[in-house]
A and B are shown apart, each in its own frame.
Chain A
Amino acid sequence: MTILTLLIPVTLVMGAVGLGAFFWSLHSGQYEDLSGDAERILFDEDDKPLAAYPPGHSGTTKEKTP
């Protein structure tokens, strides 16, 4: 049963990593335009998601792509 002292923390850490990844994706604006992103996958050029900055929130702009 001592293996549990290792397994339970591992489970929790893995869950927390998933949760953190979700928070990051939410913050980086990946849920802002779901139907648009579905179409963007078909573009030839490399296309990155727009950094989220709702009004009053400081963020960064995407630099000009060729």
Chain B
Amino acid sequence: MRVISEKHDRKVRPAPSGPVTRAERSASVRPAANGHGVCLISVPNISCGACVARIERALIDCPGVVAARANLTLRQVRVTLTDANTDPSPGYEALAALGYTARPLDPSDTEPASAQQDGPDLLRCIAVAGFGAMNVMLLSVAVWSGAEATTRDTFHLISALIAVPVVAYAGQPFFRSALVVLRGGRLNMDVPIALAVLLALALSLSELLQGGDHVFFDAAVTLLFFLLTGRYLDQLMRDRARSAVTGLARLSPKGAMARGPDGSLEWIALHAVAKGMILHIDAGERVPVDVRILHGDTDLDRSLVTGEAMPVAASPGTELEAGTLNLTGGIEVEVLRPVAESFLAEMMRMLSAAETSRSTYVRIADRAARLYAPVVHLLAVATFAGWLLVTGDWQVSAFVAISVLIITCPCALGLAVPVAQVVAAGRLMRSGILMKDGSALERLAQIDRAVFDKTGTLTTGTPMVTSCFEGEAEQREASKALAMQSRHPAAQAIAAHLPEVACEVADAVEVPGFGVEGRVHGRRARLGRARWVAEIAADPQAATGPAFAFEGAPALSFDLSETLRPGAVDTISDMQSSGIPVTMLSGDDAARVAQVAETLGIAEAHHGMTPARKVGVLEDLRDRGHRALMVGDGLNDTAALAAAHVSMAPSTAADAGRTAADFVFLRDGLDAVATAQDVARATARVVRQNFGLAIAYNCIAIPLAVAGLVTPLIAALAMSASSILVIGNSLRLNGKRAAAPLQSVERGPVAIPA
């Protein structure tokens, strides 16, 4: 069996999250209006309208549920309960019964409320600006077509009455941002925008009072409308990506079951866990803090720490890092360090340090503004001085200088970047790639190095059975039956591999760290570590992989190996042939790393990397002037993801990894990396063209303005035309050859001794 379908692969992968305790669910219910309780549930696998209907119908039938509303965009369900003390568990069970992963959504997980409010606020501003623009334009057209004397003055007056409140309301986002930046002694695009809009308004008001011909109310309001649209698109794209990323199941535990002095178990919140406490950690739960095992044997998934998915056996005395997943047995543990000093907290500190060092990146639009704003302002001042010298009339000079500012208001420039990035984000999303913000696209277009993690990134991180004994049907049935008793990834891989129907097992016992034992058709049978199985088997020689044996019969073994992600080979070879050297960093041992590196043709591969050393490699690259792309999953990669120039993570990555990465790809194939890079480069090209268009526009418009030839009509035409050109150019990104559907060549598993 050499071909592994995507579906098969998914079945083998263990559920991304452990079970949620009842106490944790109850804690997520919040009181709402009318005495009802409300809880928000994150359901990452809602995918269509049918899911929405099924979920709502199932929830409404649950006891204590008043209303349920599924949100397909945010992949959340809002459940209204009769009161705040109602237990929401039946709802979770109903969702689980339908096959949906459900986790309580802590409001602290989502962005602060202020960020969520920005979207509607901007929409309101756009609506107001749109209303103003339409009405003022209607009056302006009448003036341009030849309204005269009193009619014209009346129209100007009405325009002013509309424009002043509209600018005061809809201009706020720009005024606020410009104020903040000016206080910091810097300049961004919002400074010339705010200045142009305010001066246009002031100039028009003074013209109005003197009964002049030229008022710019329409320019001020339409400018705001265009620019707000650009800003809203920018916002929309970021929100959508962010909600999808945070909506995926959370991995870090919110609390723990503590053993009291009287032996009772009680759920306590994470921050209340103190050093020396005794905790009980069930099979399938994550270790919340750094602990030492007191009682119990188990297998551990330390993939968040080392990046490796193969379980490690643990017994009393073993020290566990926070974030480790307890797989097979319940354990009693003693807390070694307070939460703030745990391995997880240490990782978070490293992460924030890495993030601060990256925040020095300046977005293209801001870099343009740094050049553009002073030039434009100086030009306006020079125009004023020039006209004053020549004509000696300060009023005319002021009019011309302000018209220079209005006509150079960076409307096209303000749209140049966001529109291109929104179109690119839409295209990426169709290819299953989510993006955090626009600057990530700019950074991705600049990379000259690529660094990949091994387990979970280049490989799927889940073991697969590559070869299986040629035994009789009875032995295979018994193997499957025993394998189904365990949560161990190797057992799950075996259960998924064997097509037989499992037979009855009696007295099945899982011996943590060794395997599963039970009685099949009255005979004792074992499935697990080869040496342990050999204890009851006829032949004492032990194989390397897991084995199965009936008592007194020969032992039969399975071979487990890692599988490459689909598209990994092509992606790596494409990158290297396009002049981007690829490096592999892994926490795994030398032999396996070398084997994967050889299969993929990667020359530079580092093994045994700790999180700190991964960061070290990336910082070293940066110091040598390289711009590296980091692709990784796992908590051990988190700090490295943040330290890289730009980073990507698969959606199966650890939660912290997804948060730290700039891009998250939802599909299994690694070709998402190449797709994202293509889109990023195309976007960078379009952005450059847009800047070219905006500059060309300015080259024509500025001389006209300096010469004092700009009338409100010319300003309106020129500004709209340049904006439309830029938008049209950006839309071309959509038409470029659509991302190839994910039909990459499936590769057989790479045999790596487990």
Contact = CB atoms under 8 A, between A and B. Distances in A.
Interface of A: 1, 4, 8, 11-12, 15-16, 18-19, 22-23, 26, 31-36, 38-40, 42-43, 50, 53-56, 58-65
Q: How large is the interface on B (under 10, 10 to 19, 20 to 34, 35 or more residues)?
A: 35 or more
A50 B60 CA distance: 15
Given A15-B135, A26-B123, A55-B107, A36 B70 contact: yes
Contact of B52 (A22, A23, A40, A62): A40
10 contacts: A1-B151, A12-B135, A16-B131, A26-B127, A32-B73, A39-B48, A43-B53, A56-B113, A61-B33, A63-B67
A35 B69 contact: no
Interface string B80-114: 10000000000000000000000000010000010
Contacts of A54: 113, 116-117
B260 to A, nearest CB: 34
A60 to B, nearest CB: 7
Nearest to B116: A54
Contacts of B120: 26, 31
B72 A18 contact: no
A48 to B, nearest CB: 10
Nearest to A66: B60
A62 B67 contact: yes
B36 interface: yes
Given A54-B117, A60-B33, 8 more contacts: A15-B134, A15-B135, A19-B128, A39-B72, A50-B69, A55-B113, A56-B113, A65-B60
Chain B interface, >50% SS class: helix
Nearest to B34: A61
Contact of A31 (B60, B67, B113, B123): B123
Nearest to A43: B53
A1 B151 CA distance: 9
A18 B127 CA distance: 9
A33 B49 CA distance: 12
B406 to A, nearest CB: 24
Contacts of A38: 49
A34 B78 contact: no
Interface in B133-175: 134-135, 138-139, 151, 158, 162
B613 interface: no
A59 B34 CA distance: 9
List the 10 shortest-distance A-B pairs measured between CB atoms, nearest first.
A39-B49, A36-B72, A33-B71, A50-B69, A19-B131, A61-B80, A33-B73, A62-B67, A35-B72, A22-B127
Given A23-B127, A50-B69, A62-B69, A36 B49 contact: yes
A58 to B, nearest CB: 5
A36 B127 contact: no
Given A1-B151, A50-B78, A63 B48 contact: no
A3 to B, nearest CB: 12
Contacts of A26: 120, 123-124, 127
Contacts of A40: 49, 52
Contact of B158 (A8, A15, A31, A39): A8
B32 interface: yes
